[in-house]
Homo-oligomer: A and B are copies of this chain.
Amino acid sequence: MKIICKKNELIKGVNIALKAVSNKTTMPILECFLIRCENDTITFMANDMELGIETIVEGTIEEEGTIAVEARIFSEIVRRLPDNDITIQSENNQVIITCEKAKFNIGSRNIDEFPQLPSVDKKEKVSISQFSLKEIIKQTIFSVSDSDTNAMMTGELFEIRDNDFKVVSLDGHRISIRRIELKENYEHKKVIVPGKTLNDLTRIVGGDAEKNVDIYFSSNHLLFEFDQTKVVSRLIEGEYFKIEQMVSRDYQTKITVNKQVMLDCIDRATLLVKEGDKKPIVMYIDDEKMEMKMNTTVGAMDEIIEIEKEGKDIAIAFNPKFIIEALRVIDDETVDIYMMNPKAPCIIKNEEEEYIYLILPVNFSAVQ
């Protein structure tokens, strides 16, 4: 095999494929790129068995062939070579990388060990803009559980019904729901995608509102196709939680508040919380104002912010992190928060229910 690529083209491909390179594994082949050069196409592949990536790199093939090479050292070498043409060739189980007068020689691996990417039948494709996909993942991914005790909580629900695309995540303390309208109608689809995969995906997808990601569904895998890249993720098996039963639209108190003012206030209050400590932020809501209080061994904090209120007065307490994470991903200038009583979840949502964030309160009488 012998190819010549521009440094910046190589770097683009390497940065994408690296996301599917295993970090800790007992199988060295999972730490490799497979570089396949045939039919005028140079393809970089990586596969950590959860996530598989295939991306095309621009360049000239002087001799066809396929090699497997340790991904991290390969990437580092490419990054530090001069900004010029880079030649990659294989010779006696070695990979030789040359650029100007610099020449590197690193070992290669047996390409037969490299696990094939799962094949996904391209029956029906769902198209969504790169921007929208990236946004909807960012706006929900934070409430995925990172504990393995319930596998389903480590993933996000992707559900498509007609032209409605809904993404849901929950971790036992809160639920995040986002929905957007697709340009076309589709058959009903419902899968659970690992959170880790989606995190990696947001770092690869460009975020262009004019460009699309095509998503293909199979029973065990999801295939994302965009630009010159394919990303295959395994799916999490099982029946997802019945969300609609958990979200009640009843309320006794509704407040409307400036999002940034509330966010800054809670953010300041968390300064007083030492790591690992579970101090709630307490909110005393009455007519036209909300008093926020935090009380810890470090000190006390107290701030009054203006609100509009409908319904009863209420005192209610929350884990400040949960409120912060929800408010951060809402773009609206003001938000509506609905509460029932100090023991029932609050709900932050807009009228069209494009977003619904449900957060359980903390037992308040017990903490004061």
Give A residues with C-beta under 8 Å from B.
73, 76-77, 80-82, 101-107, 264-265, 267-268, 271-272, 298-305
**Do A268 and B73 have beta carbons less than 8 Å apart?**
no
A268–B97 alpha-carbon span in the complex (Å): 12
**Do B268 and A298 have beta carbons less than 8 Å apart?**
no
**Do A299 and B106 have beta carbons less than 8 Å apart?**
yes
The closest CB in chain B to the CB of A303 belongs to B102
- Assuming A73-B271, A271-B73, is B80 touching A264 (CB within 8 A)? yes
The closest CB in chain B to the CB of A82 belongs to B264
Question: Shortest Cβ distance from A268 into chain B, in angstroms?
Answer: 4
**Do A302 and B103 have beta carbons less than 8 Å apart?**
yes
A81–B101 alpha-carbon span in the complex (Å): 55
**Do A271 and B102 have beta carbons less than 8 Å apart?**
no
Question: Shortest Cβ distance from A180 into chain B, in angstroms?
Answer: 33
Q: Identify A299's interface contact among B80, B104, B268, B304, CB under 8 A.
A: B104
A264–B79 alpha-carbon span in the complex (Å): 12
**Do B301 and A267 have beta carbons less than 8 Å apart?**
no
Contact partners of A272 in chain B: CB under 8 A: 73, 104
Question: Shortest Cβ distance from A69 into chain B, in angstroms?
Answer: 10
**Do B268 and A81 have beta carbons less than 8 Å apart?**
yes
11 A/B residue pairs, CB under 8 Å, sorted by A:
A73-B271, A73-B299, A76-B271, A80-B267, A82-B264, A101-B305, A104-B268, A104-B272, A104-B300, A105-B300, A105-B301
Question: Shortest Cβ distance from A209 into chain B, in angstroms?
Answer: 33
**Do A304 and B101 have beta carbons less than 8 Å apart?**
yes
**Do B107 and A299 have beta carbons less than 8 Å apart?**
yes
- Assuming A106-B298, A300-B104, is B271 touching A77 (CB within 8 A)? yes
5 A-B pairs with least C-beta separation: A106-B299, A105-B300, A102-B303, A80-B268, A103-B302
Contact partners of A264 in chain B: CB under 8 A: 80, 82
Contact partners of A102 in chain B: CB under 8 A: 265, 268, 301-303
The closest CB in chain B to the CB of A291 belongs to B101
A94–B80 alpha-carbon span in the complex (Å): 55
- Assuming A268-B77, A268-B80, is B305 touching A103 (CB within 8 A)? no
Residue among A104, A301, A304 facing the most chain B CB atoms (10 A cut-off): A104
Question: Shortest Cβ distance from A281 into chain B, in angstroms?
Answer: 13
A76–B271 alpha-carbon span in the complex (Å): 7
Contact partners of A265 in chain B: CB under 8 A: 102
Residue among A264, A265, A299, A303 facing the most chain B CB atoms (10 A cut-off): A299
A104–B268 alpha-carbon span in the complex (Å): 9
The closest CB in chain B to the CB of A103 belongs to B302
Contact partners of A104 in chain B: CB under 8 A: 268, 272, 299-302
A106–B296 alpha-carbon span in the complex (Å): 10
A335–B77 alpha-carbon span in the complex (Å): 26
A302–B299 alpha-carbon span in the complex (Å): 60
The closest CB in chain B to the CB of A80 belongs to B268
Question: Shortest Cβ distance from A119 into chain B, in angstroms?
Answer: 34
Contact partners of A105 in chain B: CB under 8 A: 299-302
